[in-house]
Amino acid sequence: MSKPTRTITAAVTAAAALAVTALSALPAGAADTAPLGRGGLAWTACPGAPADSPQRCAEVSVPLDYADPNGTRITLAVSRITAAEPGLRRGVLLAVPGGPGGSSLDLVKGMAGRLPQSVRDRYDVVGFDPRGVGRSTPVSCGLDTADLTMVKLRPWPAADGSIDENLATARRVAETCARNGGPVLRSISTANEARDIDSIRRALGERRLSAWGVSYGTYAGAVYATMFPERTDRIVLDSNDDPDPSRVERGWLDNYGRGIEDRFPDFATWASAPDNPDRVADTPAEVRPLFLDLAARLDRAPLPWPGANPAELNGNVLRETLLESMYADARFPDLARLMLAGLGRRPLPAPVVPPEQAVQNTVAVSVGTLCNDVRWPADPAGYAAAAAADRAARPLTAGMPVNVMPCAFWPFAPAEPPVRITDRGPADVLLTQNLRDPATPYAGALKLRAAFGDRARMVTVDSGGHDVYRANGNACGDEVVTDYLITGRRPARDVFCPAG
């Protein structure tokens, strides 16, 4: 499953590493005589960090159940890099990570490292491990290693289109997570993440909070801005989720079908460039049929791939690599080299296997969020019909985006309905969005823009990939966001930034 949605992409890439980062909060009781912060937090050196690291760490205690504030409590690991110019300090900029299941705790290597100095001068940049993640009170489903492979976590149909194995996997994962996840897993939801964010605000001693949310963090940030509008300052939402309250995460998985179609032409152009050492075809028009033919061939005759999980290069492994490679131009070579290996022109690359503990944690948080936020349909026949239609309409993703997930068999009903994003609140939201985002496509971002109404403005960048601000070198888009964070000036109307 984030990660049978992009949530699990986080598990096998950056989120997996972040979930086990050494830059974490000290265990409860380990803080020594460190001075208390503005809001009473004990900030300590982050274990494993260099002695001269600007980052400090602490823990925030929050209720397991906000309806029972005096009951069981859990901890959230937080980190902070204070404003470089105290005389210019504006307040706190909270980095809200993607996923669900991602982390922003390691600010030095993560989101804070992307910020321009002018923003770092004015804000204490704060990161955190969300509820259940990493060094916060963690969760795990204890899944079998075989169920942690991406071609199972995302529901890729079998070569003949059957979803029987997907149904079995979804049921098994749901039952295992429900049995092993415990009360913390059942408490995970986007609404509770918004409440946790406000608990972090209070613990920091701040009256209002600015935030920069990326990917799933845009939905968490939007929910926070809706539930606590009077506590927001400057909100930047980057690579935006469709907020449709009847579907939320179920709709995000579906959006992969459109997003990959939007993005693939960028790869085709790159993969056929004459000066490209990883060139796979002579013209862009040849790349798509070559990919589809190779995937079908590998469906019929997989290649052994020792050390990988699964230990073969099959059609769905190639399709999964396509999906993950579309996130950034820098990942295009991963797909091209695997295609060349499948065509017999290159050896297979060394497999990359992330730490199992990190993947277990990210998968559990992903399942908890996806299944606790909204109820999913339970009829297997409906999923089979949808997958068959999608395979015909969008062969690059082969039915996966509309296929069954563990949430179809989740035994717990959502504790509350998804939050409906509205235009009620201060005009303090700025969205930034790539035109050709494979995971959070432009069409979905427009729906979040519409939901916020005049409360928001949107900066659209003529670029491909996932992540916008300080991620793809578009000076126009970066300047609008930076100016808003520094001055509070939003554009009078939505902005379009051309490529480059």
pLDDT in tens, 376-404: 999 999 999 999 999 999 999 999 999 99
Identify the architecture of domain 1-500 in CATH.
Answer: 3-Layer(aba) Sandwich (3.40)
> Tell me, what's the pLDDT at 47?
77
- Asked whether the predicted pLDDT for residue 16 surpasses 70, the reply is no
The overall pTM is greater than 0.85:
yes
More confident residue, 9 or 381: 381
Question: pLDDT by residue (tens digit) across 20-72?
Answer: 333 333 333 333 344 444 567 999 999 788 888 999 999 999 999 999 999 99
pLDDT-derived band at 15, boundaries 50, 70, 90: very low
Considering the chain, what is the average pLDDT of its residues?
Answer: 92
- The residue whose two tokens read 């790539």 is 434
Query: Which residue has 């070559």 as its token pair?
Result: 290
Residue 64 CB neighbours (<10 A): 18
- With 70 as the cut, is the pLDDT of residue 19 above it? no
Helix (H, G, I), strand (E, B) or coil at 166: helix
Tokens of 351: 């497999």
Q: Determine the Cα–Cα distance for residues 259 and 216; give it in Å rounded to an integer.
A: 15
**Lowest-confidence segment of 35-39, 280-284, 481-485 by average pLDDT:** 35-39
What type of residue sits at position 145?
A: T
Helix spans in 374-474 (H): 380-393, 442-452
For residue 319, the model assigns a pLDDT of 98
pLDDT digits (tens, 9 = 90+) for 431-441: 999 999 999 99
**Has residue 449 got a pLDDT over 50?**
yes
Average pLDDT over residues 469-473: 93
Question: pLDDT, tens digit, for every residue of 191-201?
Answer: 999 999 999 99
Give the residue extent of every domain in the chain: 1-500
**What span, in angstroms and rounded, lies between the C-alpha atoms of 216 and 185?**
18
Q: Looking only at Cα atoms, what is the longest distance across the chain?
A: 66
Confidence check: pLDDT of 3 > 50: no
Give residue 38's pLDDT.
Answer: 54
